[in-house]
Each structure stands twice: as C-alpha cells, then as structure tokens.
Amino acid sequence: MTAIGFEKHDHNRCIATALAEAETRCADQKLQLTPVRRRALEILLQRHRAMGAYEILDLLAADGLGSQPPVAYRALDFLVQHGFAHRIERINAYTACAHPEQDHIPAFLICRGCKAVAEAETELEQGRLGAAAQATGFAIERIVVEAEGLCPACQEHPA
C-alpha cells in the first residue's frame, strides 16, 4: 500500500465496486462467493499486485479463515476459474483481474526487477497459435501470455 496518498479513498471505492460486481455475478450464475473466497478476492484487490498463495493464506489465517494451504489454493482456483483473478505462471502468483466483466485472454508484463505486474490486453491470440491448434485438431481451453522484462523504473535504477 505504498504511495496511494489521497487516492486512497478512490481505491477503497474501487475495491468495494469490484467486490459488489463479483457478488452480483456470483448470484446471477449461482456461484457461491463464500467468506474465504470473498476475502481472498478482497485481499488481491486491496494489494493490487501479484501475490503468492502462501502470502494470501497468511492473510486469510489472520482473519481466522483457514490456515492450511488447500484453503488458499481452493479459493484461488475458484477465483481463477470464474475470471475474478488470474494466475501468473512465470512467478507462481495470483492477481485480481483488471476487467472481470468480459471474457478475455489476459497478458502480463512482469518486471524482474521489482516484481510488479501489469495486465495488458491481447487481441484473441488466434493468430498463428490458433491456426496451429486448428491444423492439428488441438482444442485450446486456456492461453497464457506473459512477458518478462524491466519496467521503466528498474531500467533506470539497475539494482
């Protein structure tokens, strides 16, 4: 929660909005946004960065919501499954989805210096990859697109 300053209020509102939207959609789709799942999403929204499962587990535990790994992994699986969060393979971490309203293929820019992660848009990856899949009869269910490199700040201050 560094350097949010006077935008803090806005961030709180944005968290509240996202949570409310999640609740609405879960109700619509008959999904159960249980306390553990809801709190996990809230944590991801609050920190607004990529977090490891164990880091989230610690925060859940602090609230008395489970203390063993499966609790965190199950909640995160649920959130990822339904598009409320994404898993970032390169760094084994999770982050709240930046636009959960629509179906999309997320793409991430991962800074290897400060570990910050930005979610970018991709057009449907169906360029060459989709063509290759179709040609071989492979049925794509999920696509991972992640770029690793250095953010502007870390380019200037090489650790």
Over the window 89 to 128, marking each residue x when it contacts its own copies by CB under 8 A and - when it does not, the resulting string is xx----------------x-x-xx-----x-xxxx-x-xx
Q: Which two tokens stand for residue 77?
A: 């699986």
Instruction: Name the binder of 1 from its own copies, DNA, none, CB < 5-8 A by kind.
Output: none
Residue 84, Cβ neighbours under 10 Å: how many?
Answer: 26
Position among 9, 30, 142, 157 found at the interface with its own copies (CB under 8 A): 142
Most distant pair of Cα atoms in the chain: their distance = 54
Q: Which helix (H) or strand (E) holds 91?
A: none
Instruction: Name the binder of 29 from DNA, its own copies, none, CB < 5-8 A by kind.
Output: none
**Rounded to an integer, what is the distance from CA 19 to the centroid of its chain?**
14
Q: Which of residues 31-90 bind its own copies (CB under 8 A)?
A: 89-90
Instruction: Name the binder of 48 from its own copies, DNA, none, CB < 5-8 A by kind.
Output: none
Which value, in Å, is the radius of gyration of the alpha carbons in the chain?
17
